[in-house]
Chain A
Amino acid sequence: MIIDAFVLRALVAGLIVAVAAGPLGCLVVWRRMAYFGDATAHAAVLGVALALAFDVSIFAGTLFAALVVAGAVSTLAGRGWAMDTTLGVLAHSALALGLVVVSLLQGVRLNLESFLFGDILTVTARDLWLMGGGAALVSALMLWRWEGLLAATISEDLAQSMGLNPARERLVLTLALALVVAVALKVVGALLIAAMLLIPPATARIYARSPEGMALLAIGAAALAVLAGLGASLIWDTPAGPSIVTAAAAMFAASLGGAALIRRLSRG
């Protein structure tokens, strides 16, 4: 059987997302930033609109919009605004504004669905290089700042007493989050990026015994979901992005059920 090049590219793209999203997703879960990830991802739609309007690459536009929204959320929350309100305002404003701007653009025939739910089968070689670069940067940030990020997650006071600067760790997280959004946009789409950040770590949590173990398991769970979801999408002709997320969700449910069963058996 010959695997088509576009399928191979899709597979590589999915695995790149898995590597980038796994460890960062764990931090998002531990720091209870789930909604923060969602807001940043929604901003990607505004980024797409801006990229088309100013004729720059979609990757750059997405990265820019995600950074701006993530930065705005951090700043407002730092000034005492309730986090959920700030996120709710910014996430939906960015999404709505993005949709409006796209509709206003003259002469652009855009398949919006591909940005909302991903279009992994149209990933080009150039996309792969960009995504790979973004993911490598995220991984480097995670490796470089891991102890600091973990310390600041456990307690910002404690981190400060170790001579770390929690504000810098927050900045690293914001940057990494924006990068992951830009990397994952074409794979799962703006509406489902948060799912790739949250579901694999949730699955990994069931098995993990250490923070590092959970980060690696999250990469593994995400990679498996990409394989299963992409395969299912090819066989049954379902949309790839939602299929990947569905596979991830199925793995989580199976793990949860399995863990409960093991507990019951070991007790009984």
Chain B
Amino acid sequence: MRRLPQGGLGMTTLIEAKGLSVAYGAAAPVLRHVDFILQAGEIVTIVGPNGSGKSTLLRALLGMVAPTAGTVSRATGLRVGYVPQALHLDANLPLSVARFLRLNRRLGQAQVAALLARVGAPGLEARSLATLSGGQFQRVLLARALAGNPQVLVLDEPTKGLDQPGTAAFYRLIEQVRRELGCAVLSVSHDLHVVMSASDRVVCLNGHVCCEGAPSVVSNAPEYRALFGLGTGGALALYQHHHDHGADHPDHPHDHETCNHDH
């Protein structure tokens, strides 16, 4: 693992991948030649269909899986707050919210209370994790990720299993947290149509980087605006995308109105 030097003018690169490929065993690679960069304070959303390698990219960027080719480098001492996909806890595990937040980490009572208040879930300390609603659970996972005062918040499909109002509320919360902490946010969504309007960049992934660009370009698409745009306080925007190129032809030149191509 190479370490990125700190500093530079203005922007600090937190995570950078060059020519990243990941394969599990002898199977076809999940990721092929992915270049990726995350700057401090940036909000980047990775979208793509199921099996497109979104989670694998996140895991490779965090060093949880080893690349088969290419390099991943992270800023020295990078503090990452990771929000995993919805957990499936065994109902036989009696675990309170406070104990979960303290897992492998020393936190005082006041710190636990402050974390829960920050994610809009105050007073849940004594509740059992198993009795929380989906939305409350995701907030507690977020609180745990925030406990280490992260420079980058990494969210792996954080709203999986939440309904639309719940999803919108969760993304509003993420935006608010980012405003307060100034951390970068790197998240993954399998829903091509729903990404954060506040994303600086959207990376569309399908084994390789299909395209990336600012969501504002596409946020005015009227048919999706009507579906998502109004009732959600602007937290959800739209990213229109057509997969008219096959995944088995990664180098096939194709045109795309809303994306900056970099093949």
Interface residues of A, Cβ cutoff 8 Å to B: 29-32, 147-148, 150-151, 153-155, 157-158, 160-162, 164, 201-202, 205, 208-211, 213-214
Residue from the list A157, A161, A205 in contact with B92, Cβ < 8 A: A205
CA distance A264 to B153 in the complex (A): 45
Do A210 and B99 touch across chains, with their CB atoms under 8 A apart?
Answer: yes
Is B36's CB within 8 Å of the partner chain A?
no
Interface string of B208-224 (1 = CB under 8 A from A): 00000000000000000
B94 contacts A209, C-beta separation under 8 Å: yes
List A contacts of B82 (CB < 8 A): 157-158, 161
CB distance from B15 to the nearest CB of A (A): 14
In the docked arrangement, what's the CA distance between A31 and B144, Å?
21
Majority SS at the chain A contact face: helix
Q: A148-B104, A154-B100, A157-B64 are in contact. Are A32 and B84 (CB under 8 A)?
A: no
* Cα-based distance from A148 to B103 in the complex (angstroms): 9
Q: Are B93 and A153 interface neighbours, CB within 8 A?
A: yes
The answer to whether A30 and B93 have CB atoms under 8 Å apart is yes
Interchain CB contact under 8 A, A151 and B64: no
- Asked if A150 and B103 make an inter-chain contact with CB atoms under 8 angstroms apart, the answer reads yes
Complex interface: chain A residues within 8 A of B85 (CB): 157
Residues of B contacting A160 with CB < 8 Å? Answer: 62, 64
A216 to chain B, nearest CB (A): 12
Q: Give min CB distance, A113 to chain B, whole Å.
A: 33
Q: Are B103 and A161 in contact (CB under 8 A)?
A: no
- Distance (Å) between the CB of B157 and the closest chain A CB? 12
Complexed CA–CA distance, A35 and B225 (Å)? 51
B84 and A30: CB pair below 8 A?
no
Asked whether any CB of chain A lies closer than 8 Å to the CB of B78, the reply is no
Known: A161-B62, A211-B94. 6 other contacts (CB 8 A): A147-B104, A157-B84, A157-B85, A161-B84, A162-B103, A208-B94
CA distance A208 to B94 in the complex (A): 7
Given the interface pairs A209-B96, A214-B94, the reply to whether A151 lies near B104 with Cβ below 8 Å is yes
When the two chains form their complex, are residues A147 and B84 in contact, meaning their CB atoms are under 8 A apart?
no
Interface members, chain B 72-97 (any A CB < 8 Å): 80, 82, 84-85, 87, 89-90, 92-96
Select the residue from B87, B104, B144, B154 with max chain A CB neighbours within 10 A.
B104
Docked CA distance A201–B90 (Å): 13
**A residues in contact with B93, CB < 8 Å:** 30, 153-154, 211
- Docked Cα-Cα span, A154 to B101, in Å, equals 12
User: With a CB–CB cut-off of 8 A, which chain A residues contact B94?
Assistant: 205, 208-211, 213-214
Instruction: Give the complex CA separation of A152 and B202 in angstroms.
Output: 32
Chain A residues within 8 Å of B92, by CB: 29-30, 201-202, 205
Residue of A nearest to B82 (CB): A161
Q: Are B95 and A158 in contact (CB under 8 A)?
A: no
Cβ A161 vs Cβ B104 within 8 A = no
Name B144's closest neighbour in chain A (CB-CB).
A158
Evaluate whether A32 and B87 lie within 8 angstroms (CB atoms) in the complex, with A157-B156, A161-B82, A209-B96 already known: no
Cβ of A30 and Cβ of B104 under 8 Å apart? Answer: no
Query: B99 contacts A30, CB within 8 Å?
Result: no
CA distance A66 to B59 in the complex (A): 33
CB distance B104 to A32 under 8 Å? no
- Residue of A with least CB distance to B98: A210
Q: Which 9 A-B pairs have the closest CB atoms?
A: A161-B82, A157-B84, A30-B93, A147-B104, A208-B94, A160-B64, A30-B90, A155-B87, A205-B92
Question: Which of A29, A147, A157, A214 meets B103, CB within 8 Å?
Answer: A147
Q: Which residues does chain A contribute within 8 Å of B59, judged by CB atoms? A: 157
